[in-house]
Amino acid sequence: MNRGIYPPLAGALALERRLEVLSNNIGNLQTTGFKKDKPIFATVLGQTSGPSVAGIDLFPVIGGLPADRSQGALAHSGAPLDVALQGEGFLVAKTPDGLRYFRGGILQRNVDGNLVTHQGDPLLGKKGPIKVPPGEMTIDNQGNVSVNNVSVDTLRLEKIPEGEETSKVGNSYWTVPNKSAPALNTTVHQGMLEKSNVNPALDMVELIKVTREYEQMQKAIKAMDELAGQAIQASRVQG
């Protein structure tokens, strides 16, 4: 069997995954607070029955898929229930699956008077779920929530400490790390929304580049497959 076909095959699979990630990033260009993913490539040494051959038994793979948590641009909306964060912090919501981080967006006031997320999950303050009575609600830059100039609560703002990990779980939510810390350097902006941090121009260029690399891998696989076929045919003729 032609072992040389495996590296380009593994490369094609890794590039295919890269295309999926880029397409997902670009598809979420208009998603409030979206943080793009950035694949990390690695190589693994394949297990073979024969001696290892340099450059042939090394296979490229996706070594990880961390999110780029860099700041997205802020856009003015003017809606009093729109909240954007500037800095490293996250808001905290109480969901049926446990606590979840998210970067804000279009909040709502439910029938019980609770301030909830886009998914209808209670938004947490320092006192617990934030209940806002009827009236004019304001949120200052420190996250203090007031209604008709009367203090109600303060938004719970947390950051991911060094060495801790979190991951996306859908609906713009993130898991909460084992340890958390107050996000002291995060500013809250009422009446604004944080845009996705996807750069459409750069990511489209990257998409085209990866597409071309994927096509080259396909050509290499086809060439090696034809070469293997020719070798088999030649052995039959000689036999």
Q: Are residues 225 and 166 in the same domain?
A: no
Q: Is the pLDDT of residue 207 over 50?
A: yes
pLDDT on residue 156: 97
Q: What is the pLDDT of residues 32-87, one digit of tens each?
A: 999 999 887 666 555 554 555 445 556 666 667 889 999 999 999 999 999 999 99
Read off the pLDDT of each residue in 233-239 and give the average, rounded to a whole number: 63
Q: Is 94 buried (19+), middle (13-18) or exposed (0-12) by CB count in 10 A?
A: middle
pLDDT on residue 147: 96
Rounded CA separation 194/185 (Å): 16
pLDDT on residue 139: 97
Q: Is the pLDDT of residue 209 over 80?
A: yes
* Letter string b/e over residues 155-179, b meaning 16 or more CB atoms within 10 A of that residue's CB: bbbbbbeeeeebeeeeebbbebbee
Return the DSSP state at 51. -
CB 226 within 8 A of CB 220: no
Chosen domain end from 194, 210, 228: 194
Q: Is 211 buried (19+), middle (13-18) or exposed (0-12) by CB count in 10 A?
A: middle
Q: Are residues 78 and 157 in the same domain?
A: yes
Confidence of residue 222 (pLDDT cuts 50, 70, 90): confident
Query: What is the phi/psi pair of residue 28, to 5°?
Result: -105, 25
Return the DSSP state at 3. G
Q: Are residues 207 and 225 in the same domain?
A: yes
Read off the pLDDT of each residue in 179-201 and give the average, rounded to a whole number: 94
Q: Are residues 121 and 166 in the same domain?
A: yes
pLDDT on residue 219: 79
Return the DSSP state at 137. E
Q: Is the pLDDT of residue 196 over 70?
A: yes
Q: Are residues 62 and 93 in the same domain?
A: no
Query: What is the phi/psi pair of residue 218, to 5°?
Result: -60, -40
pLDDT on residue 54: 47
Domain count, the chain: 2
Give Dmax over CA atoms of the chain in angstroms: 94
Q: Are residues 143 and 180 in the same domain?
A: yes
Q: Are residues 35 and 80 in the same domain?
A: no
Average pLDDT, the chain: 86
pLDDT on residue 59: 63
Q: Are residues 88 and 146 in the same domain?
A: yes
CB 81 within 8 A of CB 137: yes
Q: Is the pLDDT of residue 13 over 90?
A: no
Q: Is the dihedral of CA 92, 28, 195, 147 positive or negative?
A: negative
Which residues make beta-bridge pairs with 101?
A: 92, 174
CB 211 within 8 A of CB 101: no
**What percentage of the chain reaches a pLDDT higher than 90?**
61
Q: What is the pLDDT of residues 127-186, one digit of tens each?
A: 999 999 999 999 999 999 999 999 999 999 999 998 888 999 989 999 999 998 999 999
CB 59 within 8 A of CB 46: yes
**What percentage of the chain reaches a pLDDT higher than 70?**
81
Structural domain range at position 229: 3-68+198-238
Q: Are residues 139 and 228 in the same domain?
A: no
Residue among 37, 41, 39 nearest 24 (CA): 37
Q: Are residues 190 and 204 in the same domain?
A: no
Q: Are residues 162 and 89 in the same domain?
A: yes
Query: How many whole angstroms from its chain centre is CA 136?
Result: 35
Q: Are residues 229 and 146 in the same domain?
A: no
Rounded CA separation 171/34 (Å): 10
Rounded CA separation 114/120 (Å): 9
